[in-house]
Amino acid sequence: MSKNIRITEPSAEMLGKIVRARQAIAEQKQRYIKCPYCQHNAIAVYEDTRGHVETKCKKCGKVTVFDVVNMRKNAVHF
């Protein structure tokens, strides 16, 4: 069975926020936090990322919550 996925364009206000976010990270280094289950790159974070993020690994499907600040000490930089 196929799923009906609706795709709509973001509002002008949301597009502006997206552009500003891209500009804000343009000069920052990106690093990846690996999935603790399969070691696949689970999420990309930037130097100013703080707090907790939840992501579902695209490889193994496990959902994990990461404390980005505490993961920084053990992170592999690319």
For the range 20-26, what are the long-range contacts, defined as Cβ-Cβ under 8 Å and sequence gap of 24 or more? 24/48
The runs of H, that is alpha helices, within 1-78 are 12-25, 68-71
13 inside domain: no
How large is the average pLDDT for residues 59-64? 95
CA atoms within 13 A on the CB side of 14: 4
Which structural domain, as residue segments, surrounds residue 55? Answer: 29-77
| pTM, rounded to two decimals | 0.67
Query: Is 64 a member of any domain?
Result: yes
Task: Give a yes or no: residue 24 inside a domain.
Answer: no
58 lies in some domain: yes
For residue 43, being part of any structural domain is answered with: yes
Structure token digits, residue 41: 């790159």
Between CA 10 and CA 20 the distance in angstroms is 14
For residue 11, being part of any structural domain is answered with no
- d(CA 49, CA 24) in angstroms, rounded, equals 12
How many domains in the chain? 1
Give the pLDDT confidence of 3-49 residue by residue, as tens digits: 778 889 999 999 999 999 999 999 999 999 999 999 999 999 999 99
The answer to whether residue 9 sits within a structural domain is: no
